[in-house]
Amino acid sequence: MQLPPWSVIVSWPKPNYVDPVTRGDALLILMILFSILVFLAVLGRYYSRIVIKRWFGWDDSMITLAWIFTIGMNAAVILANRKYGWDRHLWDVQYEMIQKASMIAFAAKLLFVGASTFTRLSLVCFYYRLVGDSGIAWFTWVLHASMAFNISIGIAFTCLGIWLCVPVQSYWVYPPMADHKCLDEGTTTLIIGIINCVADLLTTLLPIPLVMRLKMPLRDRIGVCILLSLGIIVTVAGIVRTYYIWQSLINSWDETWFSYPLWICAAVEIDVAVICACAPALKPLLHKPFTRMTNSITSKLSSLRSSSHNSAAAASQTPQNNSNKSTRSAFKFPFAKRSGGESIWDGEEEYGMLRLAEKDTNTTTTTTTTAQMTDVEAHPLHGFMNGPTRMPSHLGILKSQSVDQEVQYLTPQEVQGEAMRTPEALEIR
């Protein structure tokens, strides 16, 4: 905490140490709520990885470190505002609390940097598994660069937080030490906040161009992009936090009062970041309940449509006994179960998910083409029209279908007449 000059201190009102004006209990309620949500998200991730998937990766290790820093950050925020005067005006903070208030702020900054850095590293490690063995060399190098960038800024921000003042303890010692030097805390923290927002946005949008280029159904691509774009919420929270950095550390000397929303934004940003980073890992855990729910809703809608259709048919007395077919609802949810396991939403392993999706699409296309070629080659007139060794062309297929339709409607007398004709005459016809 940087204390204001004497010209500002003498302009303050008389301090109220007995019953000061405070910000209230909103921060405490939010911290308890988000701490529970983060705990449940990480616990669900562990259950999904260890119990369901029976696998634990580097991204899980990184999110564990991020969770430890996040819990420490939430505890520091609660202590700072409930015990060390960060919920009141600076002139109402008692002198014996100033040093402890500065120490808790020093620790909170380092915890924030650690939590945000390890959360981004967890996402990058997840992207590595997402395209595992896919052969997409350029995207692998992009991930290498992203990993190096996040590690570099994490180390740089930690060093800036520690050595903002020289000697280090001069940041929190009160009364201020003689012969100490400090960087401008407001400008430094603002620059760190802006770079942190850019890093969050880049990490969030990193796999989106690759996903949109895959040969997958559009609905599946949009679903994957939505899942991977949850980090945009974190970026928005970071932008709000950066505004309050300017408000509390640059625009005003009443740091403890205007930092109250800054504490909230910083803690919520980290908590939401960890929750969003755990969202892809929760897919196996939530897949079956969502599938059952959507299938139940779809079946009920189908039965309602079928009953209404039958009622309308009975009212109009239109016979449909021989032509009725089972009515199926066209309403489908994005997470509805699909036949054949063709969708990445159907709970398969995330490793190589993008590669498998593209491979399955290509395999389906190849199988369809092969089936069409086999049907044409099996046609009785295929050898006569195209020769025994020629591959069927589109024109050949059309000719085969035309001759097939013509022969289908010949009478027995016409068949005998056709048998007496020469092949040249048949071809002319």
Q: pLDDT of 93-140, one tens digit each?
A: 998 899 999 999 999 999 999 999 999 999 999 888 877 766 678 888
The whole-chain average pLDDT of the chain stands at: 76
pLDDT bracket for residue 316 (50, 70, 90):
low
The three-state secondary structure class of 388 is coil
Closest listed residue to residue 281, CA positions, set 219, 231, 351, 229: 351
**With 50 as the cut, is the pLDDT of residue 336 above it?**
no
Give the lowest-confidence range in 21-25, 52-56, 120-124, 193-197.
52-56
417: confidence class by pLDDT, cuts 50, 70, 90: low
Q: 373-404, pLDDT tens digit by residue?
A: 445 444 444 444 444 444 444 444 444 444 44
Over range 157-173, report the average pLDDT. Answer: 94
Statement: residue 196 has pLDDT above 50: yes
Output the pLDDT for position 390: 46
What is the three-state SS of 297-319? HHHHHHHHHHHHHHHHHHHHCCC
Instruction: Give whole-number Cα distances, 246 to 204, 241, 261, in Å.
Output: 25, 9, 12
Which of 1.10.150, 1.25.40, 1.10.3470, 1.20.1070 would CATH assign to domain 7-287? 1.20.1070
Q: What is the DSSP letter of 182?
A: E
- pLDDT at position 168 is 94
Interaxial angle between packed helices 95-130 and 185-205, expressed in degrees from 0 to 180 and rounded to the nearest 10: 20
Q: How far apart are CA 63 and CA 241, in angstroms?
A: 22
Token pair for 72: 């420490």
pLDDT number for residue 202: 92
Q: How confident is the model at residue 208 (pLDDT cuts 50, 70, 90)?
A: confident
Q: Is a pLDDT exceeding 70 seen at residue 290?
A: no
Comparing 68-72, 154-158, 217-221, 382-386, which segment has the lowest mean pLDDT?
382-386
Contact yes or no for 31/265 (Cβ under 8 A): no
Angle, helix 58-82 to helix 260-278, in steps of 10 degrees: 160
Q: Tell which wins on pLDDT, 78 or 384.
A: 78
The average pLDDT across 231-243 equals: 90
State residue 20's pLDDT score: 92
Domains of the chain, residue spans:
7-287
Q: Which pLDDT value is given to residue 89?
A: 93
Higher pLDDT among residues 180 and 292, named by residue: 180
Residue 143: band (very low, low, confident or very high) from pLDDT cuts 50, 70, 90: very high
* H/E run at residue 166: strand 165-166
